Amino acid sequence: MLAATEGAMLIWNNIDPSAEGEFNDWYNRQHLFERSCIQGVLRARRFRMLEGTRRYFVTYEARSAAVFGQEEYLHSVNNPLARTQAIVGRFSDTVRTIHTVVERHGDDGGFVATLRINAGAAEREACGRAIRDLSAKRLALRPNLVGATVFEEDASVSSLPNTEKDIRASRDERCDWVIFLEAIDASALGGVALELAEQLPPPVHVEIGIYQHIVTKYHGSSRDF
């Protein structure tokens, strides 16, 4: 994990199966480069689903959540290239949310679990307290886990309008918190994720996904398109 990372944009989505090959080529050869070149974005990591409801997941790690509200990023999402417009229009079931890092501990793993957490206004305080009490450090020290991060949404940045959002066929969903677990073995993740979900106060809503890492691009990496 990158020690300087204090914010991240997290996106989960499905894609029209007839466009999946083009989607992956666009992401790996064009889109990750576009986003990772933005000042303040440190790296992008892509994942493919093993268990869950959204087939793909991507993280853009940044020096702060504010990077995604600054002029350079907003110019990019408000002026998408033609190929980007065509692919983004084929997204479905998109969750796009921008977060600050509450706590981070450990290293990167080849497999990750994401817990997307939403709470009503009445439950937010208790839920936030329960999430912080879980401790990323304690989670990262569990057998076969190598890292953990707790994120809290920066709603002021997540809610900003942009052209790419408008291109998608349905409105993006968001989430209040994300717990991100990294492991050396996918089999270690499901049970831990379920256990954590059960520790959160009802009626908090939690969606779990298990993913395998497929590609990483760092800020300043070479252009592939």
pLDDT tens string, the chain, 225 residues long: the values are 676 789 999 999 999 999 999 999 999 999 999 999 999 999 999 999 999 999 999 999 999 999 999 999 999 999 999 999 999 999 999 999 999 999 999 999 999 999 999 999 999 999 999 999 999 999 999 999 999 999 999 999 999 999 999 999 999 999 999 999 999 999 989 999 999 999 999 899 999 999 999 999 999 775 555
Domain ranges, ordered by start, for the chain? 7-217
CA distances from 1 to 5, 96, 176, 181 (A): 8, 21, 22, 12
CATH 3.90.1300.10 matches 7-217: no
Collapsing DSSP to helix, strand or coil, 2 comes out as coil
Q: C-alpha dihedral over 26, 215, 118, 69, to 10 degrees?
A: -60
How many beta carbons lie within 10 A of that of residue 122, not counting itself?
9
Residue 18 three-state SS: helix
* Cβ proximity of 155 and 205 under 8 Å: no
Contacts of 120 (CB under 8 A, 6+ apart): 203
**159 residue type, one letter:** S
